[in-house]
Structure 1
Amino acid sequence: MSRAFVNEDQAAAQAEQPIERQVSPHPNYVTPQGLVELQEKVAQLQLQHQQQSDLRDSADPQRLADLERDLRYFSQRLRSAQVVTATATDKVQIGSRVTYVDEQDDQHSVQLVGEDQADAARGLVNWASPLGRALLGAQPGDEVLWQRPAGDRLIEIIRIEPA
């Protein structure tokens, strides 16, 4: 067998490997609910991985590789999780639910959460995002500058509630 065929086989095998999920450089702060969600995600992935491994011959190798990649990522996130419990305070912190008004007098309510728990559609905002960073430490009545890629926006904090 020529050396060229060996290299092609190795290149094909490498191409099938899933790209690792990038781990954020930020501290892995999570709310208590975020920790529960991470634990559930790891348990779900472990079960799916076990089911795929049990199928051995008929298992989809790409599906198995994707599960292993996700299991490595979420297991690492679970190990590095630092639970932050919002306390009753007059300052925005991770876990706080914040109501604010923007320049168009539109009222919005979001909760600052960890990166893996963030879901804009549910009003869960990553604490390390531009909006999260603008809100952290603010108090009711404060106007803060939300630096967005689409343009800066001045917002006023109306209310802060612990989770």
Structure 2
Amino acid sequence: MSRAFVREDAPDATPQLPDLPISPHPNHVTPAGLAQLQARLAATQERLAQLRARPDRLDRLPEAAAERDIRYLTSRIASAIVLDPASQPLDRVAFGAHVTVQDEAGRNTVYVIVGEDEADAARRHIAPQSPLAQALIGARVGDLVDWPRPAGTVTLEVIAIRYLADQIPAKGAG
């Protein structure tokens, strides 16, 4: 039958959205990151229930988007590899580290290496696959690392490495 004869505004016509892309990299997360994913999933499931309870459900696109997001979050939680920052080597930069670096102008900046779903450039939370994280991983205090950027390579000195307990959610959270 031709698509011309199908009513897409019928109550049972739910649009299908393509799945969100899943990273090919291992899904490393901090314990706090896993708790964030679980909270996002619960909030999205609640939103979907609210959308389905609407009396006027002619626009099914928000429901399809919520269903797509639930598939994504469920997949990310199922593939999560939790790496506890407290178990990382204290003398080297590794996953979960808060790394203080100093640039060539003498400015100090703190970056945190977290899972891809936790990454947030505005907060300086970077994914392990990012060029900066790749430059920092394995470095020790006092090491100089080269950060390749489109505007040119920047040399940074590792000033401090910390693994904070507040990255780990309290027992029972998440």
Under TM normalisation by the shorter chain, which class is it? 0.7 to 0.9
Instruction: Work out whether residues 88 and 161 of structure 1, in 8 Å CA contact, stay in contact via their aligned partners in 2.
Output: no
Name the counterpart of 2:135.
Answer: 134
Name the counterpart of 1:77.
Answer: 76
Instruction: Work out whether residues 90 and 140 of structure 1, in 8 Å CA contact, stay in contact via their aligned partners in 2.
Output: yes
Does residue 64 of the first structure (1) align with residue 60 of the second (2)?
Answer: no
For residues 85 and 149 of structure 1, the distance between their equivalents in structure 2, rounded to whole angstroms, comes to 32
Which structure has the highest helix share of the two?
1
Q: Deviations over 1:62-89 (max 9, x none)?
A: 1001111111111100111111112351
Structure 1 residue 57, shift from structure 2 partner: 4.2
Name the counterpart of 2:171.
Answer: none
- Matched-pair identity in %: 40
Does residue 90 of the first structure (1) align with residue 88 of the second (2)?
Answer: no
For residues 59 and 36 of structure 1, the distance between their equivalents in structure 2, rounded to whole angstroms, comes to 34
Instruction: Check 1:32–1:3 CA distance in 2 against 1; reply closer, same or farther (3 A cut).
Output: closer
Q: Equivalences for 1:1-163 in 2 at 5 Å?
A: 3=2, 5-6=4-5, 17-55=16-54, 57-58=56-57, 60-86=59-85, 87=88, 89-163=90-164
Runs of 4+ aligned structure 1 residues displaced above 4 Å come to: none
**Structure 2 unmatched ranges of 5 or more:** 9-14, 165-174
Name the counterpart of 2:12.
Answer: none
Q: Which moved more, 1:32-41 or 1:100-109?
A: 100-109
For residues 70 and 101 of structure 2, the distance between their equivalents in structure 1, rounded to whole angstroms, comes to 37
Give the alignment's Cα RMSD to 1 decimal: 2.1
Structure 1 residue 104, shift from structure 2 partner: 2.0
Structure 1 residue 6, shift from structure 2 partner: 4.8
- Partner AA of 2:79 in structure 1: S
Q: Which moved more, 1:24-33 or 1:146-155?
A: 146-155
For residues 61 and 44 of structure 1, the distance between their equivalents in structure 2, rounded to whole angstroms, comes to 18
SS at structure 2 position matched to 1:139: coil
For residues 27 and 61 of structure 1, the distance between their equivalents in structure 2, rounded to whole angstroms, comes to 33
- Partner AA of 2:63 in structure 1: L
Q: Which moved more, 1:147-156 or 1:95-104?
A: 147-156
Paired residues in the alignment total 156
Instruction: Work out whether residues 144 and 155 of structure 1, in 8 Å CA contact, stay in contact via their aligned partners in 2.
Output: yes
TM-score (norm 2): 0.81
